[in-house]
């Protein structure tokens, strides 16, 4: 059988060297449905990446696609700045009825711009405006986006170096279990806050991910998150939860912080809020924090009405009964965990540990280069997986929430083979 090589010439000669995902998956993708992607030559790939978490309901979800096509065919408004539109109203009402009210969350909704880093920038800006302070505390191995404010609270040295200027007003603190349980939680943080000689300016806010995705699938314990919320309240700091990758049901509940029983002051949401991979983000905050002047935080693409349409359809389809969706995600997560346990038992000398929650899992190897080799071999075998962690040492599994048990088993079998064949 003759295997034709994909024509990648225009990407290699014209597109910037900054491109990344296409280097790990050197083919030309042409179409996708559910948890499957197909390249131009018809090769099939099982997707365990789901658009970095922006496709929680799979590629071209038929219910969402139908809603989008109907809206476009009736000449619904596509671009509307932040004008009031029927599509925005439908989303806001549905989000309030199906997400906020059932969880007794009081939040106002801000549309800051279409990407996750837009949401983070607006959250940081609002916190500083409310508190009148500049400093923001983040955590080791955090990732919050690639614009300058977000990079200042991101841990990854490689990504920070790309800024080209000093990244200021951000201070990192140890994430949960950073010292392997040998140091009491927040001992260092609270000591600095209370010591007038510490050099730590009083922070306006603390920003945290309940599960660090890009940082290596580091899972914060509910009790750690509760203690952090209490610390913020004691010390008059706002708590920002970055739920961009872990929200919209990724860990089970709609918001990843629900399990901890906390109510953050500010929450950032993006990735799968549109449900269809269309750019959209939200900044949610308690009403008393809504001190913006009209137009004080602006943006041409805040009103992505096609994204409002698919977001509304996703909420109505999957979150009218959120408990059923959560139960399904947890069941699929247990299936992944069992598959990873089997891989660990087969490769005891190679695997350092597995960890995760819901449908986000990581597999860490003793050899830091191994995760990249496993991902490459998995691609050759028809499975799309990525790596994460400060040295790309963790294999990251992020399948769609709608993936079937059979598809999960298929992917886990391919993954087990890729691990074995890269030993």
For 103-147, write each residue's pLDDT tens digit: 999 999 999 999 999 999 999 999 999 999 999 999 999 999 999
Q: Environment class of residue 104 by beta-carbon count within 10 Å: exposed (0-12), middle (13-18) or buried (19+)?
A: exposed
Q: Please tell me the distance from the alpha carbon of residue 314 to that of residue 248, in angstroms, as a whole number.
A: 10
**Segments of 174-316 assigned E as strands:** 205-208, 211-212, 218-219, 238-242, 266-269, 282-285
Residue written as token pair 């003759």: 2
Residue pLDDT, tens place only, 53-107:
999 999 999 999 999 999 999 999 999 999 999 999 999 999 999 999 999 999 9
Q: Does residue 140 belong to any structural domain of this protein?
A: yes
Same domain, 89 and 112: yes
- Where does a domain end: 275, 295, 320? 320
Same domain, 224 and 315: yes
Check which CATH number belongs to the domain holding 338 and give it: 3.90.1150.10
Domain presence at residue 201? yes
**Residue 309 pLDDT > 60, yes or no?**
yes
Domain count of the fold of the chain: 2
CATH of the domain at 285: 3.40.640.10
The reply to whether 70 falls in a domain is: no
Q: How many percent of the chain have pLDDT more than 70?
A: 99
Q: Are 236 and 357 within one domain? A: no
Domain that holds residue 38: 8-61+324-421
The reply to whether 69 falls in a domain is no
Q: How far apart are CA 78 and CA 81, in angstroms?
A: 10
Give the pLDDT of residue 2: 47
Query: What burial class does residue 24 get, using C-beta atoms within 10 Å of its C-beta: 0-12 exposed, 13-18 middle, 19+ buried?
Result: middle
Is 295 a member of any domain?
yes
Are 155 and 175 within one domain? yes
Please choose, from the candidates 2, 6, 50, 47, the residue with its C-alpha nearest in 3D space to the C-alpha of residue 277. 50
Q: Which of 270, 289, 320 is the last residue of a domain?
A: 320
pTM reported for the whole predicted model: 0.97
Within this chain, do residues 306 and 357 fall inside the same structural domain, yes or no?
A: no
Length of the chain: 423
State whether 267 and 121 are in the same domain. yes
Contact present, 389 and 318 (Cβ < 8 Å): no
Q: Which two tokens stand for residue 25?
A: 């998956």
| Contact between 179 and 170 (Cβ < 8 Å) | no
Exposure letters 390-405 (e unless 16+ CB within 10 A, then b): bebbbbbbbbbbbbee
Confirm whether 3 is domain-assigned: no
For residue 267 the two structure tokens come to: 């929450």
Last residue of a domain, one of 259, 290, 320: 320
Q: What is the pLDDT of residue 3?
A: 56
pLDDT tens-place string over residues 382-421: 999 999 999 999 999 999 999 999 999 999 999 999 999 9
> Is residue 67, in this structure, part of any structural domain at all?
no
User: What does the block give as tokens for 377?
Assistant: 């071999």
Residue 396 β-bridge partners = 362, 386
Residues 102 and 216 in one domain: yes
């Amino acid at each position: 059988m003759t295997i034709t090589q994909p024509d990648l010439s225009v990407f290699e000669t014209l597109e910037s060297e900054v491109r990344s995902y296409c280097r790990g998956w050197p083919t030309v993708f042409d179409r996708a449905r559910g948890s499957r992607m197909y390249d131009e030559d018809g090769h099939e790939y099982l997707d365990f990446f789901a658009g970095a978490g922006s496709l929680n309901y799979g590629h071209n979800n038929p219910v969402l696609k139908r809603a989008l096509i109907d809206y476009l065919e009736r000449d619904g408004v596509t671009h509307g700045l932040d004008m009031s539109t029927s599509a925005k109203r439908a989303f806001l009402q549905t989000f309030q009825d199906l997400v906020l009210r059932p969880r007794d969350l009081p939040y106002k909704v801000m549309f800051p711009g279409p990407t996750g880093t837009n949401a983070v920038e607006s959250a940081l800006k609002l916190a500083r405006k409310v508190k009148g302070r500049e400093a923001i505390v983040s955590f080791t191995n955090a990732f919050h986006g690639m614009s300058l404010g977000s990079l200042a609270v991101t841990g990854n040295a490689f990504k920070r170096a790309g800024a080209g200027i000093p990244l200021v007003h951000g201070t990192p603190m140890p994430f949960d279990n950073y010292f392997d349980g040998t140091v009491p939680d927040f001992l260092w943080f609270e000591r600095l806050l209370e010591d007038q000689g510490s050099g730590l300016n009083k922070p306006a806010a603390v920003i945290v991910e309940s599960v660090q995705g890009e940082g290596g699938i580091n899972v914060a314990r509910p009790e750690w998150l509760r203690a952090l919320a209490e610390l913020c309240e004691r010390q008059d700091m706002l708590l920002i939860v970055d739920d961009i990758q872990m929200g919209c049901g990724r860990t089970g509940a709609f918001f990843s912080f629900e399990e901890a029983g906390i109510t953050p002051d500010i929450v950032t949401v993006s990735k799968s809020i549109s449900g269809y991979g269309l750019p959209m983000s939200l900044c949610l905050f308690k009403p008393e924090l809504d001190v913006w002047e009209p137009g004080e935080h602006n943006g041409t693409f805040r009103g992505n009405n096609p994204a409002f349409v698919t977001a509304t359809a996703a909420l109505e389809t999957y979150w009218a009964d959120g408990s059923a969706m959560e139960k399904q995600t947890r069941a699929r997560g247990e299936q992944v965990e069992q598959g990873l346990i089997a891989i660990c038992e087969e490769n005891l000398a190679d695997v350092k540990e597995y960890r995760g929650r819901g449908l986000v899992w990581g597999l860490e190897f003793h050899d830091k280069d191994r995760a990249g080799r496993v991902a490459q071999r998995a691609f050759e075998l028809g499975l799309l997986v990525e790596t994460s962690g400060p040295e790309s040492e963790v294999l990251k599994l992020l399948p769609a929430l709608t993936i079937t048990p059979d598809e999960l088993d298929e992917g886990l079998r391919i993954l087990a083979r890729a691990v074995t064949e890269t030993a």
